[in-house]
Amino acid sequence: MRTLRPLDSGEVATLVDWAAAEGWNPGIGDAAAFHAADPGGFLGAFVDGEMVAGISAVAYGEHCGFIGLYICRPDRRGQGHGKAVWDAAMIRLAGRTIGLDGVPEQQANYRSMGFADAYGTVRLTGMALLGDDPAIVPCDAAMLPALAAYERHCFPAPREDFLVRWIEAPRVARAYVEGGEIRGYGVVRPCVSGHKIGPLFADTPEIAGALLGRLGAIAGGPVSIDVPAANIGAISPFFREAEPGFATARMYRGPAPALRLDRVFGTTTLELG
């Protein structure tokens, strides 16, 4: 008999491990930060006490939500468990605009369920051009209100409970501060393989490039970043060379949020938006 319920933090970690097994290359320690975003926002299907499928259905503020980490255990596929968690996620986020990042083979399916394309995203991987701009400073908890205020142009709802964890180790966060004002920030984190940068939000491509260079130096090797397609030309010059790879479409069911996409040079995560 199948049961559905919210996942605890350990079970969220298991779901992230499944994502690693699927080749999605999550970050080290992602699960704890993900769970902090919305502790009730991770749902699982269980058979005889074992988790067989899971999904994230994270609510942001009063009007937005995001779907990700939609995985059914390989030995349990074709038995309706994936559809069961999907339906539970849609119920949990009913009445909100719901976003997701859809891989090409699933986009038609999502469109049939009322999702519409907003923009494409392409993963760039390569060595950043290193720099040492003195305007770039470490982020800490004291900067959280300013960071949260800055990113409201780039993310559709407040997410302070997530951010306070996202700027902690093992991730490293840096902000570009000019005249006492934040003009951009980014986070780099170690992953199962290599490092990812996300978010990378900035007022200009030049500020984004400076942050990319500093975060790349911290990584000490190639970095991957999921870039809105419209900004690939703006950020690419700040790599020594960048290979395009994994592509997704940001899709929404409900009114798409009004964002300053020109400031979004790297998505935070494909799992939580």
Q: What is the pLDDT of residues 128-170, one digit of tens each?
A: 998 889 999 999 999 999 999 999 999 999 999 999 999 999 9
116: which strand partners?
Answer: 252
What's the confidence (pLDDT) of residue 246? Answer: 87
Question: For residue 235, what are the contacts with CB-CB under 8 A and spacing of at least 6?
Answer: 124, 200, 205, 208, 209, 212, 225, 227, 265, 266
Q: What's the rounded mean pLDDT across residues 173-184?
A: 97
ω into 199 cis (within 30 of 0):
yes
Mean pLDDT over each residue of the chain, to the nearest integer: 96
Please state whether 133 falls in left (phi above 0), alpha (psi between -120 and 50) or beta. Answer: beta
What is the SS3 assignment for 179?
Answer: coil
Nearest Cα to Cα of residue 259 among 151, 185, 160: 151
**180 φψ region: left (φ > 0), alpha (ψ -120 to 50), beta (else):** left
The conformation of residue 168, written as its DSSP 8-state character, comes to S
Q: How confident is the model over 52-76, as pLDDT tens digits?
A: 999 999 999 999 999 999 999 999 9
The pLDDT value given to residue 194 = 95
Q: Residue 224: is it exposed, middle or buried by C-beta count within 10 angstroms (0-12/13-18/19+)?
A: buried
- Tens digits of residue pLDDT in 229-258: 999 999 999 999 899 998 999 999 999 999
pLDDT tens digits for range 15-52: 999 999 998 999 999 999 999 999 999 999 999 999 99
Q: How would residue 175 be classed by pLDDT, with cut points 50, 70 and 90?
A: very high
The percentage of residues in the chain with a pLDDT greater than 70, rounded to a whole number, is: 100
**pLDDT band at 79, cuts 50/70/90?**
very high
Amino acid at 170: P
Residues 239, 125: Cα–Cα separation, whole Å:
9
Q: Which two tokens stand for residue 190?
A: 């170690």
Contact 173, 182 (CB under 8 A): no
Radius of gyration of the chain, Cα coordinates, nearest whole angstrom: 18
Structure-block tokens of residue 178: 């000019």
Antiparallel, parallel or unpaired: β 223-228 and 195-202: parallel
Residue pair 198/166 in contact (Cβ under 8 Å)? The answer is: no
Q: Tell me the C-alpha distance between 118 and 8, whole Å.
A: 32
